């Protein structure tokens, strides 16, 4: 029994991490209708910024996390203004080719500057190890992930559903022409949203270094996971990707624990079954744009 709960805990933490990493992609793909396969590159940028600040400049880990967010968002806004915005009106294929190219460039650049070996962030001692709650092993670091990611999710949902900015964004997406006619600065809204998505990815990258490892190939290695989360969840809301991340995280961990011979097969099987059942994802809109 306790091992079931330990696995459930690990699965939730893994799922939450996947969500923070992927929800920026859900925003650009679902809300802005832009295929950004370079999403993992922003996550990697955040991870490396956090690593450099903590390991080389002696920053505390918790002070470096917001900076990972800010720097990834800053890179995002610069690239959005200079490169991405020219591609909004282009076909999805153009967007895919462009962002894949960007991904490869980021891999080469980080490899050149930082070298190819895997790096680790020096964690404070308080985050290491596990403690027992009625025999269930609770990893301190994973607990922190659940707390941070949980708060972020709630905050994000509030912003999108309840605030003025959220409604402006939804209006800008659904009908850019009408929205700008109403005085909404559409490019600005898009740029801000894009940067925010990149920032989330950067934060996810910093948080995931401990669990997934951080090296220059990060954007390529985890692209598939981001895409699975977004396809399974459907890209029209953030509730979908959130539930999909949890489901996949728990499923992946449980699969590896109970049927280790199946390896990563479990996560792909889940994806296929869900997509046969609901081709637009768990919460996808049925009518295509």
> Which residues of this chain interact with another protein, rule CB under 8 A?
3, 6-7, 10, 14, 107-108, 111, 115-120, 128-130, 137, 139, 141, 210-213, 215, 217, 221, 252-257, 260-261, 263-264
Residue pair 51/209 in contact (Cβ under 8 Å)? The answer is yes
Residue whose CB is less far from another protein, 130 or 280? 130
Sequence-separated (6 or more) residues with CB below 8 Å from residue 241: 19, 22, 23, 26, 229, 230, 233, 234, 235
Residue environment code for 187-209, b if the CB has 16+ CB neighbours within 10 A, otherwise e: eebbbbbbbbbbbbbbbbbbbbb
Question: In the bound complex, what is the minimum distance in angstroms from residue 95's beta carbon to another protein?
Answer: 25
List C-alpha distances in Å: 253 to 82, 106, 149, 247, 265. 40, 30, 18, 10, 12
Question: In the bound complex, what is the minimum distance in angstroms from residue 212's beta carbon to another protein?
Answer: 6
Question: In the bound complex, what is the minimum distance in angstroms from residue 47's beta carbon to another protein?
Answer: 14
Question: In the bound complex, what is the minimum distance in angstroms from residue 187's beta carbon to another protein?
Answer: 36
Residue whose CB is less far from another protein, 202 or 216? 216
CA angle 168, 173, 178 (to 5 degrees): 75
CA 81, 86, 89, 94 dihedral sign is negative
Residue whose CB is less far from another protein, 166 or 213? 213
CA angle 124, 65, 267 (to 5 degrees): 90
Sequence-separated (6 or more) residues with CB below 8 Å from residue 179: 168, 171, 172, 186
DSSP helix/strand/coil, 34: coil
Question: In the bound complex, what is the minimum distance in angstroms from residue 252's beta carbon to another protein?
Answer: 8
DSSP helix/strand/coil, 117: coil
Residue whose CB is less far from another protein, 128 or 175? 128
Question: In the bound complex, what is the minimum distance in angstroms from residue 55's beta carbon to another protein?
Answer: 9
Residue whose CB is less far from another protein, 204 or 284? 204
Residue whose CB is less far from another protein, 154 or 224? 224
Residue whose CB is less far from another protein, 83 or 105? 105
DSSP helix/strand/coil, 121: coil
Question: In the bound complex, what is the minimum distance in angstroms from residue 151's beta carbon to another protein?
Answer: 22
């Amino acid at each position: 029994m306790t091992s079931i709960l330990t696995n459930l805990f690990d699965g939730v933490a893994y799922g939450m991490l996947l969500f923070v990493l992927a929800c920026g992609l859900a925003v650009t793909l679902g809300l802005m209708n832009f295929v950004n396969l370079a999403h993992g590159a922003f996550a990697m940028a955040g991870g490396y910024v956090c690593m450099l600040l903590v390991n080389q400049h002696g920053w505390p880990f918790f002070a470096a996390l917001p900076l990972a967010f800010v720097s990834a968002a800053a890179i995002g806004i610069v690239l959005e203004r200079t490169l991405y915005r020219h591609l909004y009106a282009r076909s999805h294929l153009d967007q895919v080719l462009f962002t894949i190219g960007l991904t490869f460039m980021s891999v080469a650049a980080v490899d050149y500057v930082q070298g190819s070996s895997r790096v680790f962030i020096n964690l404070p001692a308080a985050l290491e190890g596990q403690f027992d709650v009625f025999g269930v092993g609770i990893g301190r670091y994973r607990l922190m992930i659940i707390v941070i990611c949980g708060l972020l999710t709630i905050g994000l949902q509030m912003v999108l559903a309840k605030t003025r900015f959220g409604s402006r964004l939804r209006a800008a997406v659904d009908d850019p022409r009408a929205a700008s006619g109403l005085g909404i600065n559409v490019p600005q809204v898009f740029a801000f949203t894009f940067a925010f998505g990149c920032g989330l990815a950067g934060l996810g990258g910093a948080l995931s270094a401990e669990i997934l490892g951080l090296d220059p190939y990060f954007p390529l290695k985890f692209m598939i996971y981001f895409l699975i989360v977004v396809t399974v969840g459907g890209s029209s809301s953030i509730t979908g990707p959130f539930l999909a991340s949890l489901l996949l995280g728990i499923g992946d961990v449980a699969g590896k624990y109970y049927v280790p011979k199946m390896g990563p097969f479990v996560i792909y099987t889940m994806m296929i079954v869900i997509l046969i059942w609901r081709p637009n994802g768990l919460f996808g809109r049925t009518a295509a744009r």
